[in-house]
Structure 1
Amino acid sequence: MKKINLILLFSLLTVIVIAQNKTLKVWPNGAPNDNGMTEPEEKYDGVRVRKVSEAEMYVFSPEAEINTGAAVVICPGGGYWVEAMDHEGYDIASFLQSKGITGIVLKYRLPYENHEVPSSDARQAIRIVRANAKEWGINPEKIGIAGSSAGGHLASTAGTVFDYGNKESSDKIEQQSCRPDFMLLLYPVITMDEEFTHLGSRGNLIGKGHDKELIRKYSNELNVSAETPPTFLVLADDDTAVVPKNSISFYSKLKEFDVPAEMHIFQKGGHGFGIRKNGIPADNWPNLFVDWLKAIKIIE
């Protein structure tokens, strides 16, 4: 019996190693900003993490024969105080990998009173993917970003406030655009307007005061432009944590600028359903997302 258990354990470990191909530090030479966290990173409740002070990327590459050339940087949610790395991170990456799409889970640094830290990590992650696109079997014009809940706020921040790289830089990564080519937003926090924001996420990102400049800066429905990438939104009508108005306001702004978008509001699902099999219609969102990628010509 022990021998059989060891064989099973070895097999599972082998699968994990195959599934996750690479782990990279986002800032191997040190980040340009600091969140002030000096305590050790903590894992709890499975693979959730908090007290994150160093950003890392976990790359799940598909087999060559099914590789579509598309990639998605994935930002797990958790109210900007924790990151749900499993059902909003690794599990999504594994699904994408099975569909020929490179899934890249970003463990971003949490803000801890420095609101610029998470979005700088997300933008740098996109630059890194573009800089390594050829080596990783990725089309540099098919790199998207995804996020759930507060991770959706982070993804929508990266998707609305970006630059096209510094072509004069001698650094290959700095030369790259950080604009994602598409977005996947799962029950995202969008606004900092206290009328319909998620107050926990807002407080953890910009503080509990009423700084009008920061509220405006991170209310991403106000940052949409004609250059905002095509967006796929998923949420539940009965979400009381991050109310549907967040996604609806974002979708409405996308339409004002004629940005291609698709939104699915499922009757049941609540908040935080991720990619788990919950026995609800919302479980089908991953297949709908793949269909949408085909519709916008990201994959065939």
Structure 2
Amino acid sequence: MVKQGWIAQAFVLAFALPTFAATAPQAVIPVWPKLNVPAAQRVVHYHQNKYIGQIALHPILWPTLSLFPAPRRLANGCAVVICPGGGYSVEAMSLEGYRVARRLNEAGISCFVLEYRLPLGKLPPSGIPWCLQDVRRAVQIVRSHAAAWNINPHDVGVMGFSAGGSVAVLSGVHWLPGNPDAKDPLNRLSTRPDFLVLGYPVISMLPAITHMGSHNNLLGQHPPLDVEQYFSGELNVTALTPPSFIFYAHNDTTVNHQNEKQFYAALVRNRIPAKLVKFKLGNHGFGLGQKGTDSTRWPAMCLRWLKARGFLPAKAPSAAARGTKP
């Protein structure tokens, strides 16, 4: 049993707080409380955009989870770690984080918006991007507090938009099974998401189809081919990659559609439950959907898919129908 500690207390307190207007989280916790970052460098600066809302600016060196618990009367045990996008140079916290969390709360899903560390144009010495380290840890944090937070540890997914979709995909193809002998109790838990939800995602790092801004910010301008291949989700799908719901707009001219198509094809080849949805309109970066277009349909479609897979209350299908689990 993992000690609940102050993180659990923060979440319990969140349930007792009054409902916030707009989209403010009910608690914010550090992903790595012991991370050696000077206090001055833990401060994140934000830009407020009239339409997009709050945008976290580079650099982000102190990753956090913003907690959006589902209302008790609606909570169904499902949880999602949400990774906002921004080309690995900023993070659209409101558009692709807080607003999405509030919408999913209405469906009884508890949400955790990850403000992951932004890369510095190259990989860290470990070779594992900070963002991947952070999303893995976020999944472990949620699972470690499943009982206290009224969450089913087998219904924890990761959702990502644009470059945040890259973070989500990496969490699904390069997950860690958990080491039962680990000193750190969290590292005894699997980092594998139970499902992925990917909105107009950057998935490939191959120059022919990648989003070069995201590629260069994450890996640098001229990484070795084997590095580009390792961080290309479509090349690393296995029989244990999580079931995935993927959506994008036909008129998105920012991210090559081959990102979604090739990842989906790899899922199908490996017999992973997956759904690929192409909307006619929406452009790129539409969050919950561009007003007046069919892209606003994705939340309802995604919820239906989650129900069909058994991650939300419904006639729960068999374990096989939900997708493989390690």
TM-score between both structures, scaled by the size of structure 1: 0.90
Aligned to 1:23: 28
Contact kept in structure 2, 1:268 and 1:282, CA below 8 Å: yes
What secondary structure sits across from 1:104 in the alignment? strand
C-alpha distance in 2, partners of 1:143/1:252?
Answer: 24
Per the TM alignment, residue 18 of structure 1 is displaced from its structure 2 partner at its CA by 9.5
- Runs (4+) of structure 1 exceeding 2 A deviation are 16-22, 37-41
Aligned to 1:163: 176
Counterpart check, 1:275 vs 2:288: yes
Aligned to 2:8: none
Please tell me the residue identity of whatever aligns with 1:47: Q
Counterpart check, 1:60 vs 2:73: no
Paired residues, what number? 284
What secondary structure sits across from 1:213 in the alignment? helix
Aligned to 2:205: 192
Alignment of 1:240-279 (within 5 A): 240-279=253-292
- How large is the Cα RMSD of the aligned pairs? 1.8
Contact kept in structure 2, 1:19 and 1:61, CA below 8 Å: no
Counterpart check, 1:49 vs 2:52: no
Matched-pair identity in %: 38
Contact kept in structure 2, 1:231 and 1:262, CA below 8 Å: yes
Per the TM alignment, residue 21 of structure 1 is displaced from its structure 2 partner at its CA by 2.9
C-alpha distance in 2, partners of 1:43/1:276?
Answer: 23
Aligned to 1:8: none
TM-score between both structures, scaled by the size of structure 2: 0.83
C-alpha distance in 2, partners of 1:128/1:78?
Answer: 24
What secondary structure sits across from 1:135 in the alignment? coil
| Structure 1 unpaired stretches of 5+ | 1-12
Please tell me the residue identity of whatever aligns with 1:258: R
Per the TM alignment, residue 164 of structure 1 is displaced from its structure 2 partner at its CA by 1.2
Per the TM alignment, residue 183 of structure 1 is displaced from its structure 2 partner at its CA by 0.3
What secondary structure sits across from 1:228 in the alignment? coil
Which of these residues, 136, 145, 152, is aligned with residue 132 of structure 1?
145
Query: Closer, same or farther in 2 for the Cα pair 1:186/1:289, shift >3 Å?
Result: same
C-alpha distance in 2, partners of 1:204/1:297?
Answer: 37
C-alpha distance in 2, partners of 1:64/1:187?
Answer: 31
Aligned to 1:6: none
Counterpart check, 1:102 vs 2:110: yes
Per the TM alignment, residue 14 of structure 1 is displaced from its structure 2 partner at its CA by 5.0
C-alpha distance in 1, partners of 2:70/2:93?
Answer: 20
C-alpha distance in 2, partners of 1:98/1:38?
Answer: 35
C-alpha distance in 1, partners of 2:19/2:172?
Answer: 35
C-alpha distance in 2, partners of 1:298/1:19?
Answer: 26
Contact kept in structure 2, 1:230 and 1:259, CA below 8 Å: yes
Per the TM alignment, residue 291 of structure 1 is displaced from its structure 2 partner at its CA by 0.3
Contact kept in structure 2, 1:157 and 1:220, CA below 8 Å: yes
Q: Deviations over 1:206-232 (max 9, x none)?
A: 001142121111111001000000000
Per the TM alignment, residue 239 of structure 1 is displaced from its structure 2 partner at its CA by 1.0
C-alpha distance in 1, partners of 2:22/2:203?
Answer: 35
Counterpart check, 1:78 vs 2:86: yes
C-alpha distance in 2, partners of 1:151/1:210?
Answer: 20
Please tell me the residue identity of whatever aligns with 1:49: A
| Structure 2 unpaired stretches of 5+ | 1-17, 124-128, 314-326
C-alpha distance in 2, partners of 1:91/1:17?
Answer: 8
Counterpart check, 1:119 vs 2:132: yes
More divergent stretch after superposition (284-293 vs 169-178): 169-178
C-alpha distance in 2, partners of 1:38/1:15?
Answer: 28
Per the TM alignment, residue 39 of structure 1 is displaced from its structure 2 partner at its CA by 8.9
Q: Deviations over 1:118-147 (max 9, x none)?
A: 110000000000001111110000000000
Please tell me the residue identity of whatever aligns with 1:61: P
C-alpha distance in 2, partners of 1:118/1:170?
Answer: 23
Alignment of 1:220-239 (within 5 A): 220-239=233-252
Per the TM alignment, residue 244 of structure 1 is displaced from its structure 2 partner at its CA by 1.1
C-alpha distance in 1, partners of 2:265/2:218?
Answer: 24
